[in-house]
Structure 1
């Protein structure tokens, strides 16, 4: 049996708040579903300001409150190769979605979408706010990534699951 691996990339602006949290929460859902071999998860930012840095401490603490460790992640910038490497490139908000689409090569294979696509809602950037903003982001990301995993499972072949 050949297992096709789905590859998912979560993207925000700097890759230190929302997308690392989405990566960690989604990876947690994937692990709980027993799909670690079938689904690869990563995150990136559209900007390069924080390249090589750990996630914002408030994102790390928020994840830890829910039993998720994102402290070993390292920020990176979205690259041209990501449009071929990943099946899904998932933006945290409509501004980053537009930036991703503008950066995308004319021909690419990635499905570029908004995390909260069904609600047409952005995951707000909590960077300049208080800790409560990170809790709100966690709740939005938790629900959005859970629903997204169900979407992926719906299109996977039974032999992949």
Structure 2
């Protein structure tokens, strides 16, 4: 099973949006039996909370299910449980280092990327946080586009065709 973890700061805006969108795309591709998806935050402020109302609104508008999703914090086990850890911005990548377990074998460690690495035409590789900007539509468009490219990347890399 390929496991993908999306990470942002509080796990109520960007990473749950990416989790829901990617889950939707994986289901549409008929790959939900081989790809598992989750999200987490590097901060602990929102543990147990549902996605932010702005995230829920944009997901509802686009008919993307987020039922049952609750914020959680990254844990050291995530680095060996997940195949891919997808951060929303450079700050998230740097913050992940605090959760990384003692050195582990490279082949057992998750591959860490930024989501917008999968949107090569975008110059800025950081997904802006709509918690602060309020622009959930812009973030949704970035997430939807990048998740589609991420899915193609995983299908090719993991030879899921």
After TM superposition, the score normalised by the length of structure 1 is 0.90
Q: Out of 94, 99, 124, which is 2:128 matched to? A: 124
| Two-structure CA RMSD over aligned residues (Å) | 1.3
Match of 1:154 in 2: 156
Match of 1:48 in 2: 44
Pairing 1:5-24 to 2, within 5 Å after superposition: 5-24=1-20
Match of 1:72 in 2: 68
1:71 CA drift (Å): 4.1
1:103 CA drift (Å): 2.6
1:104 CA drift (Å): 1.6
Unaligned runs of 5+ in 2: none
Equivalent pair of 2:24/2:65 in contact (CA under 8 Å): no
1:102 CA drift (Å): 4.0
Q: Deviations over 1:105-134 (max 9, x none)?
A: 22251001101114451110010233xx10
Secondary structure of 2:54's counterpart equals helix
Equivalent pair of 1:62/1:135 in contact (CA under 8 Å): yes
Unaligned runs of 5+ in 1: none
Match of 1:109 in 2: 109
Q: Distance in 1 between matches of 2:15 and 2:156?
A: 23
After TM superposition, the score normalised by the length of structure 2 is 0.90
1:52 CA drift (Å): 0.4
